[in-house]
């Protein structure tokens, strides 16, 4: 196993652990849960950036243009992701007693979050292709998709299905 592969594996494991903790954290009480969530989100974002850095080889010129753009991209995604976290927290707190109307609204809200995530990604793709060659921009989105897949897989294991 190469050093890059080992680092990627370690960071992926860290992200999985942190995501698991992130969605287990709402079971804690009061302001401590909010503080824990904020710390966990910050840690996940930092590790995500490190994972991108390890897997996306950038020249100095590319890096000087990419990272500020990446930070803006992540800041915009943060708002979308925070909406998703809120939606998941609301759902997991009430999924046993949801009415049909509430379940429908949750599903519609989820789809709106997904649409907004796709809009951000689509908008920034054009910007990323201005500062990176096409293959590197595509690789960045592949890295993003792989991280999202890991997170979504973990979420799927922990979020209960709506009861009929």
Model confidence pLDDT, tens digit, residues 119-154: 999 999 999 999 999 999 999 999 999 888 887 887
Cβ proximity of 140 and 52 under 8 Å: yes
Using CA atoms, how far apart are residues 91 and 141, in angstroms rounded to an integer? Answer: 29
Confidence check: pLDDT of 48 > 70: yes
- pLDDT at position 136 is 96
More confident residue, 164 or 52: 52
Written as six digits, the tokens of 40 are 């966990």
Residue 128 CB: number of other CB atoms within 10 A? 20
- pLDDT at position 83 is 93
More confident residue, 85 or 11: 85
Using CA atoms, how far apart are residues 69 and 22, in angstroms rounded to an integer? Answer: 26
Confidence check: pLDDT of 28 > 50: no
Positive/negative CA dihedral, 99, 105, 109, 114: positive
Confidence check: pLDDT of 58 > 50: yes
Confidence check: pLDDT of 27 > 60: no
Region 78-97: mean pLDDT is 89
Region 53-79: mean pLDDT is 95
């Amino acid at each position: 196993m190469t050093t890059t592969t080992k680092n990627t594996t370690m960071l992926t494991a860290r992200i999985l652990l942190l995501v698991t903790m992130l969605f287990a954290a709402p079971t804690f009480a009061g302001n401590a849960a909010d503080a824990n969530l904020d710390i966990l989100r910050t840690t996940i974002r930092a590790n995500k950036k490190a994972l991108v850095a390890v897997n996306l080889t950038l020249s100095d010129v590319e890096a000087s243009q990419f990272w500020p753009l990446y930070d803006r991209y992540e800041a915009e995604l943060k708002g979308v992701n925070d909406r998703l976290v809120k939606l998941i927290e609301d759902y997991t707190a009430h999924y046993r007693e949801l009415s049909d109307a509430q379940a429908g609204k949750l599903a519609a809200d989820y789809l709106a979050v997904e649409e907004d995530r796709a809009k951000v990604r689509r908008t920034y793709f054009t910007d990323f292709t201005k500062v990176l060659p096409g293959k590197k921009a595509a690789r960045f989105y592949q890295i993003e998709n792989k991280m999202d897949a890991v997170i979504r897989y973990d979420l799927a294991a922990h979020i209960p299905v709506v009861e009929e």
